[in-house]
Amino acid sequence: MDSSVTVVILAAGLGTRMKSRKAKVLHRIGGVSLLENVVRTALAVAPPERVIAVVGHQAEHVKREVEHLGIRFALQTEQKGTAHALLCCREQAGELGGLLVVLYGDCPLLTPDTVRRLVDRQSNDAYTAGALITTTLDDPAGYGRIVLDTEGNVEAIVEEKACSPDQRALKLVNTGIYCFRSDLLWKHIAEIRTNNPAGEYYLTDIVQILGEHGYAIGAMHLGDSAEVLGINTRLELAEADKIIRWRKVRELMLGGVTIERPETVTIDATVTIGMDTVVEPFAQLLGNTAIGGDCRIGACSIIRDSKLGDRVEIGPFTIIGTSTLEDGAHAGPFSRLRMENYIEAGAQVGNFVELKKTRLGAGSKAMHLAYLGDSRIGGKVNVGAGTITCNYDGRRKHKTVIGDGAFIGSNSTLVAPVQIGAGSYVGAGSVVTEAVPEDALALGRARQIVKGGWAARRRAETD
């Protein structure tokens, strides 16, 4: 028997219970959209050209979210129910044969392992037309209830709205994860009718229809019902987020990362962290962030889409976006590396220093209260407290270039575009508007005047 696998992911609905203008599958858990979570699971059992997402609501936006994964799409322009959604990819999936796995785009915690088990079970079973995953819920509200026959196969799935009081009390539910024999599914799917309270084409009716043709549908029970939580409301979204983030910190800790008070940190599923790095409480590590080994990430820091080498120290309350920090660099506490900064090896950024599109050379230091924007700063430069690059003239941004080994005195104002030569000194409190040559001293401030006895005379006059 052909046991090649095609996966169809139903993701066309709006998800009215989310009370959102955004399509449900675009909401995120663990920093990744619900749909991307499901697509990644699908890719564990089928190649991208055999994974089809059925999109409808905000189709373009939904497609854009996952197209980098190389899967295919089918369009359901009007949402007439889960069976109708599946029918929309009949042309694409119909001739592929083998087994057809159906996943719902709003069921993001499902693991590849569970889907693999379902597929294995079905490929080893010549007698049933398919199998679905069931689970037992204390509160089954909103789920289709499963009625089993005497052999433990699924006799029917009854949607909540169509349940009799007895059926409503059933705690065994449909998770919406199925594996069908393609040939039988496509042969009989058109027999599904809309004779239910919602007037929709329910995919769940296929069970009874196949039954009437003499084919059974098996049930694979899953003990851990958290894995098959379908997200319908923001409350469930938050619960799923908590579960997926716990999976992530668990995986990191088992991989050699120390996470202090792991229940307080927010680490996206996409983040990588090397061995012996310590993450302090309440840190947020987001997006495509990659952190090396032996680093320390201070409490309450927020790092997004950034790359940190080994032995990087981030002090508490530091905010870093789209930046790179090489080995041994330091930032924080209370630094802000806003965007596109490059901090070379061993360079240090201290408290209340803001950087934007700035390269700070190896071993350079900007330890206190500075703004460095659109700057190229060489190695071993000392940037004094209170130094400001005036990179904006009200219309355009300009560059500041500082050569190796320069010393910028405290409270300097560097009016860009401007160049400070290697090895030069800028006197404290200078306003620098012209280039400073290598090894020169620049003083751009009013000369100090001292008036002897002035204060005493003033006191005498006013007393």
Q: How far is the CB of 154 from Ca ion (least distance, A)?
A: 18
SS3 category, 117: helix
SS3 category, 67: helix
State the DSSP H helix or E strand holding residue 231, giving kind and residue range, or none if neither.
none
Q: How far is the CB of 61 from ligand UD1 (least distance, A)?
A: 14
Got the DSSP string for 273-318?
Answer: E-TT-EE-TT-EEESS-EE-SS-EE-TT-EEES-EE-TT-EE-TT-
Name which position in 59, 66, 85, 209 contacts ligand UD1 (CB under 6 A): 85
By beta carbon distance, the residue nearest ligand UD1 is 144
Tokens 């579960």 -> residue: 243
Q: Which one of 9-17, 219-227, 338-346, 438-446 is the stretch in contact with ligand UD1 (CB under 6 A)? A: 9-17
Nearer to ligand UD1, 225 or 387 (CB): 225
> What distance in Å separates the CA atoms of residue 377 and residue 163, rounded to the nearest whole number?
70
Contact 202, 192 (CB under 8 A): yes
Nearer to ligand UD1, 209 or 271 (CB): 209
Name which position in 73, 202, 334, 425 contacts ligand UD1 (CB under 6 A): 202
Name which position in 56, 130, 218, 230 contacts Ca ion (CB under 5 A): 230
Q: Is 146 in the site for ligand UD1 (CB under 6 A)?
A: no
Residues 6+ apart with CB under 8 A from 127: 216
Q: How is residue 205 annotated by DSSP?
A: G
Q: Is 8 in the site for ligand UD1 (CB under 6 A)?
A: no
Q: Which one of 173-181, 276-284, 299-307, 451-459 is the stretch in contact with ligand UD1 (CB under 6 A)? A: 173-181
Name which position in 8, 13, 215, 240 contacts ligand UD1 (CB under 6 A): 13
Name which position in 42, 93, 173, 401 contacts ligand UD1 (CB under 6 A): 173
Nearer to ligand UD1, 207 or 418 (CB): 207
> What distance in Å separates the CA atoms of residue 129 and residue 413, rounded to the nearest whole number?
76
Name which position in 81, 346, 350, 378 contacts ligand UD1 (CB under 6 A): 81
> What distance in Å separates the CA atoms of residue 121 and residue 106, rounded to the nearest whole number?
24
Name which position in 36, 65, 159, 344 contacts ligand UD1 (CB under 6 A): 159
- Tell me the two tokens of residue 247: 């999976």
Q: Report the relative pairing of strands 128-136 and 172-181 from DSSP bridges.
A: antiparallel
Pick the closest to residue 407 from 379, 368, 435 (CA basis).
379
Residues 6+ apart with CB under 8 A from 433: 415, 418, 444
Contact 390, 371 (CB under 8 A): no
Active site residue 368: yes
Q: Is 284 in the site for ligand UD1 (CB under 6 A)?
A: no
Q: Is 143 in the site for ligand UD1 (CB under 6 A)?
A: yes
> What distance in Å separates the CA atoms of residue 225 and residue 287, rounded to the nearest whole number?
28
Pick the closest to residue 253 from 322, 245, 370 (CA basis).
245
Name which position in 30, 31, 176, 386 contacts ligand UD1 (CB under 6 A): 176
Print the binding letters for residues 27-66 with ligand UD1: x by CB under 6 A, - otherwise: ---------------------------x------------
Q: Is 384 in the site for ligand UD1 (CB under 6 A)?
A: no
> What distance in Å separates the CA atoms of residue 145 and residue 87, rounded to the nearest whole number?
23
Q: Is 256 left (phi over 0), alpha (psi -120 to 50) or beta?
A: left
Q: How is residue 116 annotated by DSSP?
A: H
Q: Is 130 in the site for ligand UD1 (CB under 6 A)?
A: no
Q: Is 106 in the site for ligand UD1 (CB under 6 A)?
A: yes
Print the binding letters for residues 58-97 with Ca ion: x by CB under 5 A, - otherwise: ----------------------------------------
H-helix segments, 19-111 = 34-42, 59-66, 82-87, 90-94
State the DSSP H helix or E strand holding residue 121, giving kind and residue range, or none if neither.
helix 112-123
Q: How is residue 35 annotated by DSSP?
A: H
105 binds, among Ca ion, ligand UD1, none (CB under 5 to 8 A by kind): ligand UD1
Q: Is 230 in the site for ligand UD1 (CB under 6 A)?
A: yes
80 binds, among ligand UD1, Ca ion, none (CB under 5 to 8 A by kind): ligand UD1
Q: How far is the CB of 119 from ligand UD1 (least distance, A)?
A: 19
Pick the closest to residue 117 from 220, 38, 7 (CA basis).
220
Q: Is 11 in the site for ligand UD1 (CB under 6 A)?
A: yes
Q: Which one of 198-206, 268-276, 358-366, 407-415 is the stretch in contact with ligand UD1 (CB under 6 A)? A: 198-206
SS3 category, 184: helix
Residues that bind ligand UD1 (CB under 6 A): 10-13, 54, 76, 79-82, 84-85, 104-107, 143-144, 157, 159, 173-176, 202-204, 230, 232
Catalytically annotated residues: 368
Residues that bind Ca ion (CB under 5 A): 106, 230, 232
